[in-house]
A = this chain, B = another copy of it.
Amino acid sequence: MKTSPDSFKSRLKKVVETRDTLGGKIFDTTIQVLIVFAVVAFSVSTIPEISEELKSFLRWSQAVTIIVFSIEYGLRIYVADSKRWYIFSFYGIIDLLAILPFYLALAIDLRALRILRLLRIFELLKMARYSSAVEKYRRAFLDIKAELVVFIFATCFLIYVAAVGVYYFEHEVQPEAFKSIFHSLWWALATVTTVGYGDVYPITAGGRIFTFFILMIGVGILAVPAGLLASALYNIGKKNPD
């Protein structure tokens, strides 16, 4: 059913879905501030030294945040042209996931709640909804999706080969650090991505020469995303000059 331009629902829709009116800007900014507040509150609640008063305040503020987010979720369904489309859209799912754990905690055991809380951090992505530069990234990403999949596959392959190789060279000398290929994967990950924690590293000449070859290939493979992005972004800029 089409609503008349001046009906209550139509005006509410403008406030909830756009930033064109003053009301829309206030609504939008309030939600964004609340998301940041919820994330900070959640982070602060993990500090073991905080006082009982702060803990209690955080619990209460969490409940208030969830109620506001629930009302927002209801409003978004109410004003949506296609309710189904909103509910199953990317942000519709995130909006639901952000409030669901709280209500589930009323029914199921609190232990399980802990992992569900983790989902709330996706609320931060809501802020990206209105940025225009995000659109440029989204299109560049779509242009190079297939190449990125091959890149990730190649990186995983190189990490696995690195793990097998270092296991072969180091297993006997360092049986604890390179216990199995699975244990060696940790070193391989830190090496190929050039993080290099330094908790484990090869000590045999063979293992170190092998690391040289892995890093020569790794340095080349790590350059792939920059190359892909540079070419994709330039193509996008050429088609849409501003």
Contact = CB atoms under 8 A, between A and B. Distances in A.
Nearest to A168: B118
Contact of A160 (B121, B191, B222, B225): B121
Describe A's contact surface by its main secondary structure.
helix
B186 A208 contact: yes
Interface in A122-170: 124-125, 127-128, 131-134, 136-137, 140, 146-150, 152-153, 155, 157, 160-161, 164-165, 167-168
A164 B226 contact: no
A242 to B, nearest CB: 9
Contacts of A31: none
Contacts of A53: none
A48 B180 contact: yes
A237 B229 contact: no
Interface string A98-138: 00000000000000001100100100110110011110110
A219 B159 CA distance: 14
Interface stretch (A59-67, A71-79, A192-200): A192-200
Nearest to A202: B186
A43 B181 contact: yes
A230 B228 CA distance: 6
A182 B43 contact: yes
Interface in A208-241: 208, 211-212, 215-216, 218-220, 222-235, 237
Contacts of A167: 46
A203 to B, nearest CB: 9
